[in-house]
Structure 1
């Protein structure tokens, strides 16, 4: 099993997909309890939602499950949301706060580091390489990090999550025009709800790579799973009708970002020129 799969395009957009993989090595799977084996915290079918929406886009997808190691967490283990419930780099609980391992079978520090090197590091090496390649081609790169989560998860947030949850770490990870291009389309998507920098402000991936002054713009999109699943429980099947409807605003968002790239490049050139 390869840690990462790359589908290369020639456009300015890189789609990160850190949580749609379901592979768990046998030696880890054998230690998971019934809750862990359910793999409920997968970003179910997110890769299928975005596949083919923009032929020029590059997709970097982790094949491993987040219970192996979470590719959207700080490799040093720092919390993304201090003071709030969240899951760690190598989670020992699910999104409901329930243990996912049999008693005493949780990974220790040495095993977590081994998993980081085997899975987390290759994913980010591939993602960073694609961002650099795209930027070399276009002068800018736009990283769009693709996620989904159950609509109701009391351990992580109150109430019912909006359909579209856009995260830019309060505007720090991308130019204002990038944020505006996404939000203008989520706010006008008929029949959907949306929020900017609500419970999800962007994970480690968005915050780590988003360097707008260097021409790398990053944004996270967290979709409520009611927008595309038949049920937010086993077997977590894709609802093709819902998914087809959702692909329309998603394609509009990606197309708007692609059209924005030359403008971002021009602005970056003007800023660089004024600093010389």
Structure 2
């Protein structure tokens, strides 16, 4: 399978498009050692969000590394942040500008299109199918796009990123009431810093599938990895840190579900 999926019973689908670590052998053959390290993975999110099963949420997570193809970029590879540096549909370098491909072995357009068909489409077909199933059951649904990133990445932002970065495409991907309910949970505590539609406004998944008029309310959460893991290789999971943020993650998603059910 090109992804891991578990269907749930409540109007919540959690998508994790950047947790994948597999790279097909034919792709890996053209890549550099930097690709093997996979430092830009959204490490351990499935474990961090392990409470979702008890909530009854649907969960969709990627198998393939974002270095193969980025599931959170539009298929036409347009820049989601015009004027700002970002990685593309088939990234050619890491967040620290290390080349991912050996000399003369960058993927051409034909290869990009092959990867779209082979790796990108299966994930999005499943995402769309599950949203439609949940809509038929509940009438409204929340799509939570879960991400994490190193807290300091000079290529993309100055200084340290806030701990919790919410994106709703500047309010276009979900109703104000839903984002207000989620963010209110975050603001009720003082341990973790937050930003709303700051450096991260939501990627392709949030922007494309979030259609409040069609009863799909999408919100992205980009977390600093320092909140739950070691940011340096070998990128170990820190259960002590995770235990501090997991109750808040659950409370925020429960707030979203309560809102969409109201």
TM interval, short-chain normalised: over 0.9
SS at match of 2:100: coil
For residue 218 of structure 1, give the secondary structure of its aligned residue in structure 2: strand
| Secondary structure of the structure 1 residue equivalent to 2:55 | coil
Partner of 1:39: 38
Deviation at 1:240, TM superposition (A): 0.7
What SS class does the counterpart of residue 125 from structure 2 fall into?
A: helix
Q: Is residue 96–residue 156 contact of structure 1 (8 Å, CA) maintained in 2?
A: no
Map Cα deviations across residues 120-167 of structure 1 (whole Å, 9 max, x no partner): 000000000001111111100110000000000000111100000000
The aligned residue for residue 169 of structure 1 is 169
Q: Work out whether 1:113 is the aligned partner of 2:80.
A: no
**Structure 2 spans left out of the alignment, 5+ residues:** none
| Alignment check: 8 A CA contact 1:145 1:219 kept | yes
Q: Deviations over 1:28-69 (max 9, x none)?
A: 112221222110000001111112235210001111100010
TM-score, length-normalised on structure 2?
0.97
Q: What's the offset of the Cα at 1:190? A: 3.1
Match of 1:61 in 2: 61
2:146/2:220 contact within 8 Å kept: yes
2:157 aligns with: 157
Give structure 1 stretches of 5+ with no counterpart. 264-276
Structure 1 residue runs of 4+, over 6 Å off? none
Distance in structure 1 (CA, Å) of the matches to 2:82 and 2:99:
21
Does 1:138 find its partner at 2:103?
no
**Cα distance between partner residues in 1 of 2:50 and 2:129:** 20
Normalization by structure 1: what TM-score?
0.93
Q: What CA RMSD, in Å, does the superposition of the two structures yield over aligned residues? A: 0.9
SS in 1 for 2:184: helix
Aligned pairs for 1:1-276 within 5 A: 2-53=1-52, 54-229=54-229, 231-263=230-262
Report deviation, 1:233: 1.6
Moved more, 58-67 or 28-37: 28-37
**Retained in 1: the 8 A contact 2:149–2:222?**
yes
2:51 and 2:250 in contact (8 A); partners too? no
CA deviations 1:199-229 (Å, max 9, x no partner) are 0000000000010011010000000000011
Q: Look up the SS of the partner of 2:195 in the other structure.
A: strand
> 2: distance between equivalents of 1:187 and 1:96?
32
Whole-angstrom CA distance in 2 between matches of 1:150 and 1:187: 22
SS of aligned partner of 1:186: helix
How far did residue 188 of structure 1 move? 2.1
